[in-house]
Every structure is written in C-alpha cells, then in structure tokens.
Amino acid sequence: MRHTLRITPVLLALLLPSGVLFIQGCASKRGAEALHAQGCCADEIEYYSKTIEEARNKTGQEARDDTLWMVHYNRAIAYMQAGKYAKAIADFTTTIKLHPYDKDAHVNRGIAYHNLNDYDKAMEDYAKAIELDPDYAADAYFNRARIHYRLDDYHSALVDYDQAIKMNPNLAVAYHNRALVHATLENHEAAEKDARKACELGECGALETLKKQVDK
C-alpha cells in the first residue's frame, strides 16, 4: 500500500453573503497531489477509495493499519472540495475514531457540519479542537466566531475573533470579520481600526464596505 501524506488543515473564509468555507492544502506527490492540484476531485476520491479498499483486503479490518486514518482524512478533504459534506463527515468521523486526538479532523468536520447549517455539531467540533490544541486553534476560534455572528451573538463572536487574532496576528480575514462585527454594533472607531489593519494585510473588503456606508 502506498502511504499518503496528510493534507494541511483548513482555513476559513470571509464573512460575506455567500458564507462559503474553503479548504486549503495538497496531498502527496507520490499519489494524488497532481490530481488535487488540478481540481480533479472525482479522480482523487477514487484514488483514496482504492487505497482504503487495498488496505481492507490486506488487513481484514481498516483499524489495523495505523496510516489509514490519513487516507480517510485526505479523502474527506476531497469530498469537501466536491461539496459532498455528508461523505466528508463520515470520513472525518473515521479519522477521529482511528486517531482520536486529531485537532484538524475536528476543525474540518466542524466546517462540513457548518456548510450543512448544522451549527450545534459544528460548534461541538470547534470546541473539541480548541480543547485538544488550545495554543494552536486560530482556525477553530475563527470558524466558531462565524457561527456566533450568524446567530447574532456578537459578543461571543468578538471574543473568538480576539482569540484567533491573538494566536495569528497576521490573519487578515479575522480583522476583516471583526471589523464587520464592530460595525454591526456601531463601534465605528474599532471597526475602522480593524478594517485598516485587514487592508494592510491584504484584505480590504471591510474597509471598502465601511467607506460605502459613510458615503451614503
């Protein structure tokens, strides 16, 4: 069986009307990376599925192969990119079963639930990710903040964006989204400060939005 390197973790999206969460990362060049880079989700899913089937035939049970969790993880990422969130959740769940302390699997499963509007389960996964790796959980805090915002819990959204920025001070989209929360709360000075910081880091959407509001 060819070993498959694990895809790098998810990071987020802007808090804009589309509300889509995107995945980043790539797989092993010894197998599916070229396919992944070309956006060939179906071919990549087939590759991982064959790898899992080979392991099952070889060992008699999936859990006996200590690298198989990585294959399920990578297939879950491919399912996410194909928009097949329920199937991604199933593979992330298998990943967690085989590798229980995996923070990134919880973050990514949370995003899959998030995309299905199952906010309760998404929040549970984000909270578990923070529990498992509290010092490196900017992605979990960021995505949980997005749910707080959608549920009109602006205070909690600010608290989580604060944590995300504390852990990753160069996370432009976190400043962008926090600016929008401040604007919603009519904290105009704080909103402008965050919007300008986001723009310094390359994300100027919030600043442009605020300028349009002032010009009305």
Q: What's the CATH code of the domain at 57?
A: 1.25.40.10
Nearest C-alpha neighbor of 161 from the set 132, 190, 189, 131: 190
> Within this chain, do residues 9 and 61 fall inside the same structural domain, yes or no?
yes
Tokens (6 digits) for 216: 């009305």
Report pLDDT for 40.
Answer: 59
Residue-level pLDDT at 95: 92
Whether residue 36 has pLDDT greater than 60: no
- Whether residues 11 and 63 share a domain: the answer is yes
> Are 11 and 111 within one domain?
yes
- Is pLDDT of 52 > 90? no
Same domain, 125 and 152: no
Residue 171 shares a structural domain with residue 84: no
Predicted pLDDT of residue 1? 33
Is the overall model pTM greater than 0.85, yes or no?
no
Residues 6 and 83 in one domain: yes
Residues 155 and 114 grouped into a single domain: no
> Residue 106's pLDDT band (boundaries 50, 70, 90)?
very high
Q: Are residues 43 and 26 in the same domain?
A: yes
Mean pLDDT of 113-133: 96
The per-residue pLDDT of the chain, averaged, comes to 80
Q: Do 161 and 201 fall into the same domain?
A: yes
Residue 188 pLDDT: 92
pLDDT at 22 (0 to 100): 34
Positive or negative: CA dihedral 170, 137, 183, 18: positive
User: Token match 């909690």: residue?
Assistant: 156
Average pLDDT over residues 168-173: 93
The verdict on 105 and 18 lying in the same domain is: yes
- Shared domain check, 170 and 118: no
Residue 71 has pLDDT above 50, yes or no: yes
Residues of the domain holding 103? 1-133
Percent of the chain with pLDDT over 70: 76
Print burial letters for 118-136: b (CB count within 10 Å at least 16), e (below 16): bbeebbebbebbbebbeee
Q: Tell me, rounded to whole angstroms, the distance of Cα 119 from its chain centroid.
A: 14
**Same domain? 89 vs 7:** yes
Domain boundary among 109, 133, 157: 133
What is the structure's pLDDT at 118? Answer: 97
Count of domains forming the chain: 2
pLDDT at 209: 81
H or E segment to which residue 68 belongs: helix 68-81
Higher pLDDT, 22 or 205: 205
